[in-house]
């Protein structure tokens, strides 16, 4: 009965978002109300504690929005200055083979954008770019979503690990003798899974592309590009794993994708491992793919209304100056990597000094729940400094910078309501462990039933839970926040290593990004194929299943050792 009650907010989200296709701005507040009602009436959590959980959720939401705004602000400046166009043109000119273009742009460039910005932006950038190169819209959306998968494990500067896992495991402090695993330790285990998954998935991408859109010989044509896809995928995955093990969870997606992209460019430019014959799509019917400009207009007009994902709003007018050189276009991202390194590497003093500056009330109402912000240590501050430097370097006018602020702020504001409701739901879940009935927290009640039902086989099930969370909430970060405590509880009750299971949660959440309703709708909006979301999900479900099965198989093997 406890597990059934605790599952009501999750089932509500699933029904409203996936079944009835409500917007997250409508569905998530209903879920938050359901979680609050169950916490107060069934768990008999004190009203003052529930209020503290809500206030804490507000502070966490502000901290996430700070990162979202900073990432989108940098992206808007890059677009307005023409720097993003310079990067895209350089990528497009390397090869005319559609399979190679898909790996370069959808996988490596999309992963780089995920590491730098995240929050739904990669597919919104790469899908219009692929359409502009001549990809059919359905093919562009499909590979853009598949490309934004493995890198989501760490996302924008490690947010799914540091925020998702970190906040999701806060409730462990309420269990006697329980110690929450460090996000960096979970990230190191995720990186091991991704070393295999991230190597294989670019090959899956080209097979999905060629078999799905290349006619009768499609699968054979896709196999010809597998060596190139595997080699560049390995370069990205191996680099990301090395970074996760040495520097922490903030950098793997950003640095790994950058190295993978450079290796892919080097191989493609020199004709190494690429297919001998150039492959293209069969002739398209008249009135085919939309232009990049039309797709971007569609994203501004409709996509932002249909999705809670943080879609980057295109500049309102084309930049007056010509695009910068490739070196200047890359400079902001290099600066971003340097500043992140200086503030995140624990051996350096900068991070600790910035983290010492805290704003907030601290403990709330004597409940033991604390709330606060670290405005200088947040990745949002790094994004802001980088963006202002980029605007100066790229010669952007003050008026253009102001428009970028408005555009980024508008997109971030549209995510505020569903984000706040989702975070409050998670905080009520986590803090329900202190109650008048002496009941376990809601995630632990669910974990108890799961452990008794399929505990021995849980390593194979855990990634599916992570994927379900991303499918429901539209974010790997939210999935980790929602299910981390649950996954930890199952691991402990079933005798599994909690870090192994939590890493499977993170890997599964990344896989769920491919079929997340919000991301699919957003990508279809920028590609002007709204109404074909079902076709997209049917195509991206196959690589999502491959991703989850690989993660489950590796988790099972690790537990068997």
pLDDT digits (tens, 9 = 90+) for 334-385: 887 788 768 766 667 887 888 889 999 989 999 988 898 989 988 788 889 9
What is the mean predicted confidence (pLDDT) over 141-159?
A: 90
- Decide: pTM greater than 0.75: no
Distance CA 448, CA 541 (A): 29
Helix, coil or strand: residue 318: coil
Position 445 pLDDT exceeds 60: yes
Which residue in the block uniquely carries the two structure tokens 């980029």?
Answer: 390
Report, as an integer, the average pLDDT of 222-234. Answer: 96
User: According to DSSP H, which parts of 106-182 are helical?
Assistant: 110-116, 121-133, 137-147, 159, 166-168
Average pLDDT of span 219-226 = 92
Q: How many Å apart are CA 519 and CA 24, to the nearest integer?
A: 12
Per-residue pLDDT of 270-303, as tens digits, reads 999 999 899 998 875 554 444 333 333 333 333 3
Higher pLDDT, 321 or 464: 464
User: What is d(CA 552, CA 545) in angstroms, rounded to the nearest whole number?
Assistant: 10
| pLDDT of the residue at 308 | 34
Long-range Cβ pairs for the range 395-403 (8 Å, 24+): 395/81, 395/321, 395/324, 396/77, 396/80, 396/81, 396/319, 400/77, 400/80, 400/81, 400/315, 400/319, 401/77, 403/76, 403/80, 403/315, 403/316
CA torsion sign for 40, 443, 184, 73 is: negative
Rounded Cα–Cα distance for residues 71 and 383 (Å):
6
Higher pLDDT among residues 282 and 51, named by residue: 51
Give the pLDDT of residue 201.
96
Among 111-115, 259-263, 268-272, 514-518, whose mean pLDDT is lowest?
514-518
Helix (H, G, I), strand (E, B) or coil at 498: helix
Q: Tokens 């069969």 map to which residue?
A: 282
Confidence at 311, pLDDT banded by 50, 70, 90:
very low
């Amino acid at each position: 009965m406890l597990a059934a009650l605790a599952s009501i907010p999750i089932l509500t989200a699933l029904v409203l978002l996936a079944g009835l296709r409500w917007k997250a701005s409508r569905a998530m507040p209903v879920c938050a109300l359901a979680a609050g009602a169950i916490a107060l009436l069934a768990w008999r959590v004190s009203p003052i504690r529930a209020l503290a959980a809500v206030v804490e959720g507000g502070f966490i939401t502000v901290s996430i929005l700070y990162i979202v705004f900073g990432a989108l602000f940098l992206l808007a400046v890059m677009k307005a200055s023409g720097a993003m166009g310079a990067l895209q043109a350089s990528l497009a000119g390397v090869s005319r083979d559609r399979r190679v273009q898909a790996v370069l742009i959808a996988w490596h460039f999309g992963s780089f954008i995920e590491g730098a910005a995240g929050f739904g932006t990669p597919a919104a950038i790469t899908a219009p770019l692929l359409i502009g190169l001549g990809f059919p819209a359905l093919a562009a959306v499909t590979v853009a979503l598949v490309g934004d998968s493995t890198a989501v494990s760490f996302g924008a500067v490690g947010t799914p690990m540091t925020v998702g896992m970190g906040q999701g495991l806060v409730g462990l402090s309420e269990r006697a003798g329980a110690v929450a695993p460090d996000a960096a330790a979970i990230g190191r285990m995720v990186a091991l899974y991704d070393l295999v998954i991230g190597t294989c998935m670019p090959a899956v991408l080209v097979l999905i592309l060629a078999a799905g859109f290349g006619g009768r010989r499609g699968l054979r044509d896709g196999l010809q590009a597998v060596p190139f896809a595997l080699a560049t995928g390995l370069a990205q995955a191996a680099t990301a794993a090395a970074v996760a093990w040495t520097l922490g969870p903030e950098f793997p997606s950003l640095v790994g994708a950058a190295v993978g992209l450079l290796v892919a460019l080097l191989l493609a430019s020199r004709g190494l491992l690429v297919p001998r014959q150039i492959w293209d799509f069969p002739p398209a019917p008249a009135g085919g793919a939309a232009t990049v400009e039309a797709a971007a207009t569609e994203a501004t007009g409709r996509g932002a209304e249909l999705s809670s994902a943080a879609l980057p709003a295109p500049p309102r007018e084309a930049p007056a100056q010509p695009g910068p050189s490739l070196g200047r276009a890359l400079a902001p991202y290099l600066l971003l990597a340097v500043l992140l390194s200086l503030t995140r590497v624990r051996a350096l003093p900068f991070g600790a000094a910035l983290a010492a500056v805290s704003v907030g009330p601290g403990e709330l109402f004597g409940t033991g729940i604390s709330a606060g912000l670290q405005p200088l240590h947040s990745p949002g501050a790094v994004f802001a400094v980088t963006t202002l430097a980029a605007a100066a370097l790229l010669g952007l006018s003050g008026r253009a910078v102001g428009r970028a602020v408005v555009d980024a702020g508008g997109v971030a504001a549209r995510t505020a309501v569903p984000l706040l409701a989702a975070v409050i739901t998670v905080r009520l879940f986590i803090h329900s462990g202190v109650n008048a009935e002496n009941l376990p927290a809601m995630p632990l009640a669910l974990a108890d039933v799961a452990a008794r039902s399929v505990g021995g086989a849980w390593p194979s099930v855990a990634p599916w839970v992570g994927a379900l969370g991303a499918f429901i909430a539209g974010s790997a970060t939210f999935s980790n926040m929602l299910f981390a405590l649950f996954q930890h509880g199952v691991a402990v009750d079933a005798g599994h290593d909690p870090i192994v299971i939590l890493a499977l949660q993170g890997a599964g959440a990344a896989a769920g990004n491919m079929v997340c309703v919000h991301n699919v709708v957003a990508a279809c909006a920028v590609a002007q194929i709204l109404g074909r979301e079902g076709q997209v999900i049917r195509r991206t479900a196959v690589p999502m299943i491959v991703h989850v099965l690989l993660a489950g198989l590796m988790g099972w093997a690790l537990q068997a050792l």
